[in-house]
Structure 1
Amino acid sequence: MIDRDSIPRPPELIRRIPVTANQVFLALVLFNLFAMTGDVAIAHAFNEFAFDTQYMPFFVGGFAALSTLILIPREHSTWRRALFILGMWLTVFLGVIGFWWHLESQVSWRGWFSLKTYVYTAPLVAPLAYTGVAFIGLVVIKRNGHMFGVEARRWLYALIAGGSFGNASLSILDHARNGFIHPAEWVPIPVTIFAGVAFLWVAFRPRLTGVVKGTLWFAIVLQIIVGTIGWL
């Protein structure tokens, strides 16, 4: 017969899990770095890597992923943190430079920026995904809980909101190329905008209520479902 008193209660079970919240976030950063670099490989293969600079995400993203991987098991190691910070800042600049090059490609295609160039040339906001993910990594490891004087929690919510709005933009871009041939292609747009608004709103709130937390979880789960179905 099982002694119920010997069964660990949920808080005790959670304390026994040898994983910190920071390590979970770092694992998500690592996953996103791999996913984004894989997406870049497919996208740049379409023009057969016409420019040498199109290989940059592999070197910078690879270094950032490696620095994240070695930090996860020893997140308090000084040299690992220094290597990780270097990798994240390089990734921040990679996203900004990539954004500029994508913008330049759109302008050079027809001589000016237009809706048509936005749809049919290099996706303008896609490189900024590197910048956003890297900033999340930098925020996560700040021991004092602040970055540039702003609370880490607010940074995380704002960055998640930015990523959601970016996904909305990319959904419009990708599906506009085939004229939204299927009605389901409209679904990601309101879902990601809803998530973006929810997280941006929370970023400016002093505290979270149960209803607000429930709304955030609903937005997260909804995006996971839509993203998974879209990927399949």
Structure 2
Amino acid sequence: MTASQSHLTKIVPAAEKLRLPLTRDQLMLLMAAINQFFLGVDIYLAHSISGDIKSNEWIPIIFGISAAIILLLAGLLAFRNRPLATILANLVFLGSIIVGVVGIIFHLSRTSLLSAPVSEPGTAVYVLTWAPPLLGPAFFILVGVLGISAAWIEEPVNSGRLRLLGNRHVQMPYSKTRAYYFIVGVFILGTLISSVLDHARIELENPYVWIPIGAGLFGVIAAFMMGIIEEPSTEDVAAYAAAMVLLILVGLIGFVLHLNTNLVPRGTIVVERFLRGSPLLAPLLFANVGLLGLLVLLDPREKFD
């Protein structure tokens, strides 16, 4: 891929003339802010099931919503003082990683997974299915990594050479585009595992739950292959784009299905059903990672001629 060519132009040549108001990295940072907000909301809904949110459980809720606001403000600040905005954003993303790590530790401490007797087959699977989700806090880590990757300018484009503060540089093992593909792949993998564990509570009896599993596997393979291949072909890009679009469709359809499941006859809304029933935001994770994946296809340049 040349510096002036996005992978999107391989399947949509007209995209060469596409000029969006925000660059690819700016869109990634915007997605990171949106993800922080919805992580806070989703955790609030999940912790509300007990009816009593403990003090330490408020940490990811407050952090997620606050991080989203700070990142949006940093985005506005970047138009006048990009170095300061970059520092502010990176502090938020480092905080996100810390919140994620601490959250995983808290969730582990509330399970008996590590002490489960190996002589009891299925115990570990049972604990993973019904215990506090380990992957929930992990998404804070993924968003943090995504944000840090997007915050630093790559120059020249597709070189993997990131410009730091004070005109210093660091050479990464992959170009930013390939790194994005790997990050998207991990995002999809986390979403897939989370979906499997959620649906395992009904023992995967409904045949429809296998659709997101299949779509997720397709997406994981496509994303990692795009990261591995140094110069993907038109067919590679087309397959990857199809996988991302499929994930978006699966997410939107899943959202509607979960919504209908939680509604009582005549479409009446009962809040308790939304808290304890099918998780409303969970299917949108597929749409979220699909959209992230499509953004990677955009032109990586910061400025256009």
Superposition TM-score, scaled by structure 2 size: 0.67
* Aligned mate of 1:162, from 173, 186, 191: 186
1:147-178: CA deviation from partner (whole Å, max 9, x where unpaired): 67233222211111111111111111111112
- For 1:24, the aligned partner's letter is L
Gaps of 5+ in 2: 1-13, 117-122, 155-159, 163-170, 257-305
> Are 2:108 and 1:103 aligned?
yes
* Aligned mate of 1:56, from 56, 59, 62: 59
Q: Which runs of 4+ in 1 moved over 4 A?
A: 10-13, 145-148
Partner in structure 1 of residue 44 of structure 2: 41
Partner in structure 2 of residue 120 of structure 1: 130
* Aligned mate of 2:30, from 27, 30, 37: 27
> Are 2:145 and 1:135 aligned?
yes
Distance 1:12 1:195 in 2: 25
Distance 1:66 1:35 in 2: 12
| CA positional deviation for 1:12 | 8.8
Distance 1:11 1:226 in 2: 25
| CA positional deviation for 1:74 | 4.3
> Are 2:18 and 1:14 aligned?
yes
- For 1:195, the aligned partner's letter is G
Which one has a larger percent helix, Structure 1 or Structure 2?
1
| CA positional deviation for 1:181 | 3.8
- Total equivalences in the alignment: 221
Partner in structure 2 of residue 187 of structure 1: 211
Distance 1:149 1:13 in 2: 29
Higher alpha-carbon deviation: 158-167 or 137-146:
137-146
CA 1:11 to 1:153, structure 2 compared with 1: closer, same or farther past 3 Å? closer
Higher alpha-carbon deviation: 28-37 or 220-229:
28-37
CA 1:135 to 1:48, structure 2 compared with 1: closer, same or farther past 3 Å? same
> Are 2:227 and 1:203 aligned?
yes
| CA positional deviation for 1:100 | 1.9
1:108-148: CA deviation from partner (whole Å, max 9, x where unpaired): 7x942711111111112121111111111110121134467
Distance 2:161 2:109 in 1: 35
- For 2:138, the aligned partner's letter is L
1:15-66: CA deviation from partner (whole Å, max 9, x where unpaired): 4x43222221122112211222211111111123453211111232233212
| CA positional deviation for 1:184 | 0.4
**Could you say what secondary structure the match of 2:71 adopts?**
helix
* Aligned mate of 1:88, from 73, 85, 93: 93
CA 1:49 to 1:79, structure 2 compared with 1: closer, same or farther past 3 Å? farther
Gaps of 5+ in 1: 1-9
Superposition TM-score, scaled by structure 1 size: 0.86
